[in-house]
Structure 1
Amino acid sequence: MTAFNSVKLNSHSAIASQTKELHPSIHSKLKRVIDVMGALVGLMITVIIAIPIMIGMAISDPGPLLYSQIRCGLHGRRFRIWKFRSMVVGADKMKHLVKNEADGHIFKNTNDPRITCLGVFLRKTSLDEFPQFWNVLMGDMSLVGTRPPTIDEVDKYDTHHLQRLNVKPGITGEWQVNGRSTVKNFEDIVNMDLHYQNKWSLWYDFSLIFKTVIVVFNKQGAY
């Protein structure tokens, strides 16, 4: 491990210095136009579904409708990601009580007790992800990209893992159509993210969006 890796990667400038030049997707104005148009449509749907979700949440598990968390985006730049809340209030403080079933710098538990009854439904249908269309509109995310990592995940990265941060994180991507929550090996996620970067094109983005719709409709791989 290099001297760089022995220090927590909590500086955007430090991370940026380890990444390569901007990926072609970052220069694509058409990709950004598609992101904005998709985000506007997505946000309209988000407003509509927020009403029944808010009612269901008030009945089953009163608390905030939305959940936010700081994530790392392009070149490690931090941003606040938004979701419909699927866990009990204060779930982050209970994380140490739940066993991590994943390998590497990610956290997953098949039967996480912090997930509410409504949250199980929201996750299986991916409805909890809809507020992220706001992140896309703001430019922190893209419709299609890599999985957005948490700060504590990035703090543990080795140098080669930083390549994941060469593109914007996405609402969907390779991991979403190839197992979703069932992918429990961090290196597998890294490989999928790098595969996306190598294969990227607008047509490939469209193909991943189409596959995502099928996977979500069939409720495959989510919990």
Structure 2
Amino acid sequence: MTPSSSDSPFAVTVVDGVYLIQMPPRLTAQVSLPIKHYWEKLCHQDPPPQRIIVDMGRTVFMDSSGVGLLMRMISLSQIENNIETVLWSLNDQPKMVLQVSGLSQFFKIDERTDAVVTADLLNAEESLPVTHPSVRSRWKRLMDIVGAIVGLLITALLFPFIALAIYWESPGPIFFGQIRLGLMGHPFRMWKFRSMVVNAEALKATIPNQASGAIFKNDNDPRITRVGRFLRRTSLDELPQFWNVLRGEMSLVGTRPPTPQEVGIYEIPQWQRLDVKPGMTGEWQVNGRSKVRNFEDIIAFDLRYQENWSLWYDCQLILKTLWIIFQKEAGAV
């Protein structure tokens, strides 16, 4: 049951029913998968462990795949099997990622350990990016702020007409807020103009899903109002998201912002799409929008954006989005 250091990216020590699992220096998708598989077997064995200690003393880099792994670990051990789980010795970058994602509140963290980070690992840490370059770019953030201010001014001008149309057809809130997960799985409330009936969320289970994977799509969704269809076709329903961009929760261009329910069924590699901020538009928007039915296609679009990112590429995607919005076949995201 205990992997050896020669054939595994992690090491395990067992003493009196307590498991000490030493994490590898880089907690990415490649090494997270075997750890996930081992953790699942560990939590389902009979008898289960009395306590699991996760030693992060050698880990100097963790991306969103590592966040996904830790979420799965905490779900299996503490929530499903009531096994005490402790994180040991967090270095600066993993600690930052845990704080951004909000995971630090779910783990018991013990920093009083004797773990030592070697000079080689420190050198490796210096050579690794703390975050994706798009997240570190001040110019991208400046473009987001300027774009958000302009977008909010446009929103203010159109608000009286949109609000009156929404309320006239379907009395109730003008805005619709939904929890989405952003950079490294950080939860935030994403805003839109309401395009559905007031009790839309309660009716969702009655609507057939025409998409495959961790997304929901229905071309003839009866919950969408007539005004809502117009708002979605023109993307006017998304104007309030400029507020999310101004707050830094989203970007003008990025990946598609997922719901917690969607992320809850992700496999480890799919978490990589959360290495960047979600965007109002992106690869998924200019390559089919609502016509995209396969979740794996969305993943591919999001990863392609991360690989190709540059400020000029962001500008190209914004221009393509504006062009698509005014096309006859434009549809909701």
Q: TM-score, normalised by structure 1?
A: 0.93
What does residue 115 of structure 2 align with? none
Q: Is the counterpart of residue 158 in structure 1 residue 280 in structure 2?
A: no
Q: CA deviation at 1:13?
A: 2.8
Q: TM-score, normalised by structure 2?
A: 0.63
Q: Is the counterpart of residue 192 in structure 1 residue 301 in structure 2?
A: yes
Q: Is the counterpart of residue 69 in structure 1 residue 178 in structure 2?
A: yes
Rg: which structure is higher?
2
Among 114, 136, 159, the residue aligned to 1:27 = 136
Kept in 2, the 8 Å contact 1:125–1:219? The answer is no
Q: Is the counterpart of residue 13 in structure 1 residue 99 in structure 2?
A: no
What does residue 318 of structure 2 align with? 209
Q: CA deviation at 1:74?
A: 0.1
Among 174, 195, 199, the residue aligned to 2:283 = 174
* C-alpha RMSD of matched pairs (Å): 1.9
What 5-or-longer segments of structure 1 have no aligned partner? 15-19
Identity of aligned residues (%): 55
Kept in 2, the 8 Å contact 1:124–1:216? The answer is yes
More strand by share: 2
* Matching of residues 53-132 of structure 1 within 5 Å: 53-132=162-241
Among 122, 127, 134, the residue aligned to 2:243 = 134
Give CA-to-partner distance per residue, 1:133-167, whole Å, 9 cap, x none: 00000000000000000010000100000000000
Q: State how far apart, in whole Å, the 2-side matches of 1:100 and 1:109 are.
A: 6
Residue 143 of structure 1 aligns to a residue whose secondary structure is strand
Q: CA deviation at 1:7?
A: 6.5
Q: State how far apart, in whole Å, the 2-side matches of 1:6 and 1:110 are.
A: 37
Give CA-to-partner distance per residue, 1:88-134, whole Å, 9 cap, x none: 00111111000111100011111101000000000000000000000
Q: State how far apart, in whole Å, the 2-side matches of 1:169 and 1:68 are.
A: 16
What 5-or-longer segments of structure 2 have no aligned partner? 1-35, 41-68, 80-100, 105-128
Kept in 2, the 8 Å contact 1:182–1:221? The answer is no
Compare relative contact order (CA 8 Å, sep 6+) and give the higher one, 1 or 2: 1
Kept in 2, the 8 Å contact 1:73–1:148? The answer is yes
Q: How many residues align?
A: 218
Q: State how far apart, in whole Å, the 1-side matches of 2:74 and 2:296 are.
A: 21
